[in-house]
Amino acid sequence: MLLIRTIVRPEKKDEVLAELSTAGFNAATMVDVVGRGKQKGIKIGGMVYDEIPKTLILMVVPEDAKDTVIKMILSIAKTGTEGTFGDGKIFVSPVDEVYTISKGTQGL
Amino acid sequence: MKEIMAIVRMKKTGATKKALVAAGVAGFTAVKVLGRGNLVTDPQTIEECKEKLLSMGMDEFSEAEDTEKMVNSFLDGSRFFPRRLFTILAHDEDVPRIIEAVANANRTEYGIGDGTIFVLPVFDAVRVRTGEAGDAAIW
């Protein structure tokens, strides 16, 4: 099982989640976060904005679904044809165990 | 060293905190999140839930049609619900005990929506106050 942490633009989150849901990956958790990337924030005039609002989406998926999910997120969350700074990142980490509380069983 | 991520109902935050203290784990981080779970496809479970929600939602001011529409939107799986995400760092041998405590504190008669627990491996942890690393930094 893998945990996929995706940071996307807040205006793209609905689209990403709707597409993932129709592809059968309904379960997701999202948090509003602020952050900056390697562009070191945005400079407008003399002001530097280094706490840019983004949405963090957490999903735990089976290992064989990883490529499908990542490809889907990449295609939707990208802005413009070449992509733009600030489109976000995807991190994948291993998950050892998953428990569903209501059933009291192990597994997604 | 393991990281336990538990997604629980908002109302169960207090119960979870108590359960953690009883299990001997005091430290945790909690965040308010929005989440949704796997789509429930069993029609009988959905029907039961719907009846329960409809009986709760009706009063003299609400229209039956509107209430039903609302209840349906709750059950079609597309809506996000507020939940609390607990992050607990633990020694390997304590993990089953913590999972047991959190699961028991959060099980309700509603079933669906009680939450999920994920266990992730952690490579290192450092306590800022003393600078000690590894297992000593957990508690």
Cβ pairs A/B, distance under 8 A: 86
The pLDDT assigned to B56 comes to 77
- Residue A4 phi/psi, 5° resolution? -110, 115
- C-alpha closest to that of B94 among B9, B23, B15, B16: B23
Find the residue in B nearest to A102 (Cα): B111
The pLDDT assigned to B72 comes to 81
The pLDDT assigned to A40 comes to 85
In this structure, are B64 and B14 located in the same domain?
Answer: no
In this structure, are B31 and B97 located in the same domain?
Answer: yes
Distance between CA atoms of A66 and B6, rounded to whole angstroms?
Answer: 22
In this structure, are B16 and B44 located in the same domain?
Answer: no
- C-alpha closest to that of B35 among A39, A101, A86: A101
Find the residue in A nearest to B39 (Cα): A26
Residue where the block lists tokens 């001011």: B61
By the 8 A CB rule, do B125 and B133 touch?
yes
Give pLDDT tens digits for B9-47. 999 999 999 999 998 887 899 999 999 888 777 888 788
The pLDDT assigned to B114 comes to 87
Distance between CA atoms of A25 and A3, rounded to whole angstroms?
Answer: 13
Indicate the number of domains in chain A: 1
Our CA-based measurement puts residue A82 at a distance from the nearest CA of chain B, in whole angstroms, of 31
A22 in contact with chain B, both atoms CB, cutoff 8 A: no
Amino acid B58 reads M
Give pLDDT tens digits for B106-127. 888 877 888 899 999 999 999 8
Our CA-based measurement puts residue B56 at a distance from the nearest CA of chain A, in whole angstroms, of 21
Give pLDDT tens digits for B52-92. 878 777 777 777 788 888 888 877 777 899 999 999 999 99
Q: How far is CA A73 from the centre of its chain?
A: 7
The pLDDT assigned to A75 comes to 92
Q: Is the pLDDT of residue B129 over 80?
A: yes
In this structure, are B87 and B133 located in the same domain?
Answer: yes
Q: Do B111 and A21 touch (CB under 8 A)?
A: no
The pLDDT assigned to A107 comes to 81
Indicate the number of domains in chain B: 2
The pLDDT assigned to B63 comes to 77
Kindly state the DSSP code that residue B137 receives in the 8-state scheme.
Answer: G
In this structure, are B61 and B87 located in the same domain?
Answer: no
DSSP string, A20-80: HHHTT---EEEEEEEE--TT-SEEETTEEE--EEEEEEEEEE-GGGHHHHHHHHHHHH--T
For residue A48, the domain's CATH number is 3.30.70.120
Instruction: Give residue A78's domain range.
Output: 2-106
- Residue B49 phi/psi, 5° resolution? -60, -45
The pLDDT assigned to A32 comes to 94
In this structure, are B68 and B98 located in the same domain?
Answer: no
In this structure, are B131 and B86 located in the same domain?
Answer: yes
In this structure, are B25 and B44 located in the same domain?
Answer: no
The pLDDT assigned to B54 comes to 80
For residue B98, the domain's CATH number is 3.30.70.120
Q: Do A104 and B115 touch (CB under 8 A)?
A: no
Instruction: Give residue B111's domain range.
Output: 1-36+82-139
A97 in contact with chain B, both atoms CB, cutoff 8 A: yes
What percent of the residues of chain B are helix, what percent strand, and what percent coil, each to the nearest 5?
40, 25, 35
